[in-house]
Amino acid sequence: MNKFKKYVENRHEYAKAWKAKTGGKVIGWYEPYFPEELAYAAGMLPVRLLAEHKPDWKSEKWMYASCYPSRDILNQFLLGDYDYVDAIVNVEGCQWMYHAFESALRTKDIPNHYLFLPDYTDAPTSKEVLRSELAVFQGKLEEWTGNKITDEKLDEAIEVYNKNRLLLRQIYELGKAQTPVIHGAEMMSIILADQVMDKAEMNELLEAFLDEVQDREPYKDCLRLMLVGSETFNTDLEELVEELGANICVDELDNGSSYFWNNILPQKDRLLAIAIRYLLRPHNPIKDNNWRRRPQHIWELYEDFCADGVIIAKQIYCHLHGTDNYAVWKLLRERYIPFMYFERDMTVPEEETKLRLESFISYVKQGATHVEGWHKTLE
């Protein structure tokens, strides 16, 4: 098991140890648009609430027929796994995660905040709207922690987070090589670990990893696949693909590459700079209903990473991706890109998925959707 996967598995122990060491507070966040920099500047540890499949006989009572990630997160609250979390925040986004947030509040009386982020991210007023929402949130954070969020603190947080995103991007770029030194499962473990750890500590780990990975024996050239769809919380699918001799070389998941794709461009008005970063990040379907930038982004990633085909994995009951799939399918069909679509829940049904993947992998030809030979000239 790679060491980053262990960090994900031990995330509750990690957060508790962080609290004991620093005396700080942990803030749990639900949606991918959460402006972590603000909470970090207040001295808190921002932790993405990750779903984890566990026996669940409780969440159905609270959230009937919702997607499994949202129910799993609630289940962990009901089981007490998140008792160490001192505050929770939901950013305007998917309805099911909002249910998980609201239901958690019925079971636990803790500081909380609902942060509005416009669905029309590129409307003329969106920047100012989000900026004012961030100012309200800043006040809440100061009240919860007793710490003043100064410009200096914000600058420090922005620097740590920008560095973190650049390091992740550097590691991610390694996946472009024809014979890469890192495969998709390990990359996804790194990104997931990044979302539950202190970013300053994570930056040190990522720098050390970048040094160490250069000396690795590269993997063999193999079929390169792109992963698109609902967010993921483990690396089961990536591992299954690798077991079958292929590799997920690029993804377009909310908590995959979209998490770190763009940086904050510093400016005097720090809150505005943060607002712009979150409004301009690669969008998930619910924030992409104005100019429809998502299909183009998928296409660019597919080309840049020289993928040979696409896997679309949707969580059951994920209405966001369910309603956006038509646009992705259209894009792929127009470009003759082979793709496989399937629905999953927190567990990947192994035998069935393996059978379908085997069949898909057997008919996808390396380089067939690129100008002949072009993907062979990268190194």
CA angle 258, 200, 30 (to 5 degrees): 45
320 binds ligand SF4 (CB under 6 A): yes
Owner of token pair 């639900």: 30
Pick from 38, 88, 94, 154 the residue near ligand SF4 by CB under 6 A.
94
Q: Contact letters (x/-) for ligand SF4, 50-69, by CB under 6 A? A: -----------------x-x
Residues that bind ligand SF4 (rule: CB under 6 A) add up to a total of 13
CB of 27 to ligand SF4, least distance (A): 19
Asked if 78 contacts 52 with a C-beta cutoff of 8 angstroms, the reply is: no
List CB contacts of 137: < 8 A, sequence separation 6 or more. Answer: 35, 38, 89, 113, 115
Owner of token pair 């998941």: 253
Please choose, out of 93-101, 262-270, 294-302, 341-349, the segment that lies near ligand SF4 by the rule CB under 6 A.
Answer: 93-101
Which of 14, 68 has the CB closer to ligand SF4? 68
Backbone angles phi, psi at 365, to 5 degrees: -105, 135
DSSP state of 300: H
Which of 89, 264 has the CB closer to ligand SF4? 89
Pick from 121, 145, 203, 230 the residue near ligand SF4 by CB under 6 A.
230
Which of 75, 315 has the CB closer to ligand SF4? 315
Q: Sheet of 26-29: strands edge to edge?
A: 45-48, 26-29, 87-91, 112-115
Asked if 185 contacts 32 with a C-beta cutoff of 8 angstroms, the reply is: no
CB of 92 to ligand SF4, least distance (A): 12
231 binds ligand SF4 (CB under 6 A): yes
CA distance 58 to 76: 10
Asked if 283 contacts 261 with a C-beta cutoff of 8 angstroms, the reply is: no
Three-state DSSP state, 342: strand
Please choose, out of 167-175, 193-201, 264-272, 316-324, the segment that lies near ligand SF4 by the rule CB under 6 A.
Answer: 316-324
- Can you read off the two tokens belonging to residue 45? 């540890």
192 binds ligand SF4 (CB under 6 A): no
Pick from 26, 35, 70, 190 the residue near ligand SF4 by CB under 6 A.
70
Which of 68, 144 has the CB closer to ligand SF4? 68
Which of 112, 230 has the CB closer to ligand SF4? 230
Residues at the contact surface with ligand SF4, assessed by CB under 6 A: 67, 69-70, 94, 96-97, 230-231, 315, 318-321
